[in-house]
Amino acid sequence: MILKKPKNIFVRGPVAASFIGASIQKHNTKTEIGGHSIFLGQVRADVIEEKKVVAIEYTAYEEMAMEQMHVIREEIFAKYQLSCMHIYHSLGKIAAGEICLFVFTSSPHRKAAIDACSEIVERIKTELPIWGKELFTDESHQWKVNK
């Protein structure tokens, strides 16, 4: 049995729109695909206790996160009929308005792609050791709590 090495899902800085576009474009030759589902997580400029969020600084226990993401990836591929799955999560300081999470699933049929994408996003939020420090305009901060 050959064990696959966990894929690195982390990118330094925001996920660029050009990268997202190029990722989508690469799939035009995969003619067995009938549907894609894409989730883009964007940093919000929330106002918390009268202070505005200007950025989130993401950190992670990378090795553990990649190992857990590998488990999630295998479970999702076993559960849904997917052709492709791509996941990229930002590390470092990401400004409000920038993309911090890109999940892209493809399948012969749309429902599998949509359901898999949604489940992946929820599992990333609840199962991976990734933390976000919300940075405010007054240079104070607080640790983000996922809702």
Task: Give the CATH number, domain containing residue 102.
Answer: 3.90.1170.40
- Residue 123 sits at φ, ψ, to 5 deg, of -70, -35
Strand-pair category, 10-12 with 35-42: unpaired
Q: What is the pLDDT of residue 51?
A: 94
Number of domains the chain contains: 1
Q: What is the pLDDT of residue 147?
A: 65
This model's pTM is above 0.75:
yes
CB of 9 closer than 8 Å to CB of 87? yes
Q: What is the pLDDT of residue 1?
A: 45
Give pLDDT < 50 ranges for the chain: 1-2
Confirm whether 4 is domain-assigned.
no
Q: What is the pLDDT of residue 124?
A: 97
Confirm whether 20 is domain-assigned.
yes
Confirm whether 49 is domain-assigned.
yes
Could you tell me the residue range of the domain that residue 102 belongs to? 10-142
**What torsion, rounded to 10 degrees, do the Cα atoms 102, 46, 133, 20 define?**
10
CB of 58 closer than 8 Å to CB of 131? yes
Confirm whether 5 is domain-assigned.
no
How far is 56 from 44, CA to CA, in rounded Å?
9
Confirm whether 84 is domain-assigned.
yes
Q: What is the pLDDT of residue 5?
A: 73
Confirm whether 123 is domain-assigned.
yes
Strand-pair category, 84-95 with 10-12: parallel
Confirm whether 108 is domain-assigned.
yes
